[in-house]
Structure 1
Amino acid sequence: MIHEYQVTGMTCSSCVAKVQTALLTVPHVSSVVISKEEKKATIKMSEHIAVESLQTVLESRYSITELAPAVFANPVSTYVGVSPTVERKSLFETYKPVLLVFFYISLITSLVQLWNDSFSWMQWMQHFMAGFFLVFSFFKLLNLEGFADSYRMYDLIAKKFKGWPYWYAFIELGLGLAFLVNFNPLVTNLITFIVMTVSIVGVLQSVLNKRKIKCACLGAVFNLPMSTITIIEDGLMIGMSVFMILNHFLNN
């Protein structure tokens, strides 16, 4: 069943992440979609939950009240009131920020190679990974607290160690700089492989369990839903790091 609630007290993306994280801890809640603009939370639950139980997990500055009863167009599966604006969005509209980031990084790294005398795929990957980590860390650092709140919703380490998201953002920055200056490629790629492999486990769990939560890949700046796009993004970094590690040993 799906219910809609009015949530007051949210003033920023960090507030949205905190409310969403808290509501997802309530037993029988499977997904939470929040609109800061409409001050509304759409909650999918396996059985009815009292508003008092939802309020209990929220900080005192947030207040939640149930809206009008849900209207079902089809008693089996179709719910009229659930995020119609999201439903109408195409794949490109939903993930436009991250797709544009990948396009610009690919374009710049390709132009660098075309300017060279010969095209080097190894150098292309090195520059691509530098751009990836520098850009993605930049968006995380714009709102570090908001990123941390979103990242703790699905990352295995962040769930246990609250300080890990802050370290993670700066590790990405460090990896971006290391790839940019070609600092100790073997160590840089090994760290990339370990960090991204650990990160993708939480992503896979969330996607496979069909949890409707916010992806923290671009920090708290954009409201991107977790999906296979996130898996491809992390998998691409893992694949490139593995390729470069193998290339190192084959040429030494």
Structure 2
Amino acid sequence: MSKSAQLFRMATEEHICPFGLKSKDLLEREGYKVEDHLLTSREQTDTFKKQHSVETTPQVFIQNTRVGGYEDLRSYFNKAQAGQQGTSYTPVMAIFSVTLLLSLAFSFSAGFSLISIYTLELFVALTMSALAIQKLQDLFSFTNSFITYDLVGMKVVRYAYAYPFIEAYVGIGMIAGLPAFSVAPFSLLIGGIGAISVIKAVYIDKRELKCACVGGDSNVPLGFISLTENLFMIGAGIWMFVK
């Protein structure tokens, strides 16, 4: 006997409910035949909610029993809550993984050995550039988080606004092969200040903070990852002078 479910979801010309589509996908992946009922106007949606005494759509019914919305449906199938919950290193790991693959790809296309100084330089530069992009997406949110632990940002708020631009400049400058004297000092400056700030906030003061390394709205905990980012900058600055 085939399993069936009724799904009522909002789908108007102005708005298609993403959770309705996800509910339909989940039901189908669980082997259910879905009776897909579209609520094609605000009035129709309001009438449905009033009729069933619910506040939101979509709504799923299985065996004539209301299961609820998308999160209720996930719970019904014993699945974890959707979306990122709590602190997570996922955003940083995603950036590091992609920039590593990009550096390997560029090295391969340029005819260099995959395991080489050139690949490492690219990895550091691309990672710094990608992290700068994350910060630049919302400077306001980034600075709100950054100035709570950066020792210079606390005293000079404008430094917090300049930081992502400096980081991007260093990453792009490394890739472009600009002279060391025009790039390395900036890398050493922000990397050194950042490393000292993280060490003080996390390892001395024992504060539990969110890292602004991937933007102000992230749930990445301040600590090892942010310290690694700053050590990358310090190492890059020293290497540019040595090279």
Provide TM-score, normalisation by structure 2. Answer: 0.59
Q: Deviations over 1:204-252 (max 9, x none)?
A: 1111122011111011131211122221222133223323322x2xxxx
Q: Aligned letter for 1:131?
A: L
Q: Aligned letter for 2:160?
A: P
Cα distance in 2, alignment partners of residues 195 and 228 from structure 1: 17
Q: Deviations over 1:26-77 (max 9, x none)?
A: xxxxxxxxxxxxxxxxxxxxxxxxxxxxxxxxxxxxxxxxxxxxxxxxxxxx
8 Å Cα contact 1:193-1:242 kept in structure 2 = yes
Cα distance in 1, alignment partners of residues 217 and 231 from structure 2: 22
2:168 corresponds to 1:173: yes
Cα distance in 2, alignment partners of residues 145 and 180 from structure 1: 28
Match of 1:185 among 153, 167, 180: 180
Indicate the larger mover: 171-180 or 143-152.
171-180
Task: Give the 3-state SS of the residue equivalent to 2:227 in structure 1.
Answer: helix
Match of 2:153 among 152, 155, 158: 158
| Correspondence for 1:194 | 189
Q: Deviations over 1:173-221 (max 9, x none)?
A: 2222212211113431232122201111111111112201111101113
8 Å Cα contact 1:213-1:226 kept in structure 2 = yes
| Correspondence for 2:206 | 210
2:68 corresponds to 1:94: no
2:111 corresponds to 1:117: yes
* Aligned alpha-carbon RMSD (Å): 2.2
Q: Relative to 1, partners in 2 of residues 1:125 and 1:212: Cα closer, same or farther, differing over 3 Å?
A: same
Cα distance in 2, alignment partners of residues 155 and 231 from structure 1: 12
Q: Aligned letter for 2:108?
A: L
| Correspondence for 2:124 | 129
Cα distance in 2, alignment partners of residues 117 and 163 from structure 1: 42
Q: Deviations over 1:3-30 (max 9, x none)?
A: xxxxxxxxxxxxxxxxxxxxxxxxxxxx
Matches of residues 65-76 of structure 1 in structure 2 within 5 Å?
none
2:231 corresponds to 1:235: yes
| Correspondence for 1:225 | 221
Which aligned segments of 4 or more residues in structure 1 are displaced greater than 6 angstroms?
Answer: none
Q: How many residues align?
A: 158
Q: Aligned letter for 2:187?
A: T
Q: Relative to 1, partners in 2 of residues 1:241 and 1:125: Cα closer, same or farther, differing over 3 Å?
A: farther
> Structure 2 stretches of 5 or more lacking a match?
1-80
- The share of aligned pairs that are identical, in percent, is 25
Match of 1:105 among 86, 99, 103: 99
Q: Relative to 1, partners in 2 of residues 1:187 and 1:126: Cα closer, same or farther, differing over 3 Å?
A: farther
8 Å Cα contact 1:157-1:164 kept in structure 2 = yes
User: Larger relative CO (CA 8 A, sep 6+): 1 or 2?
Assistant: 1
Say which one has the larger Rg.
Answer: 2
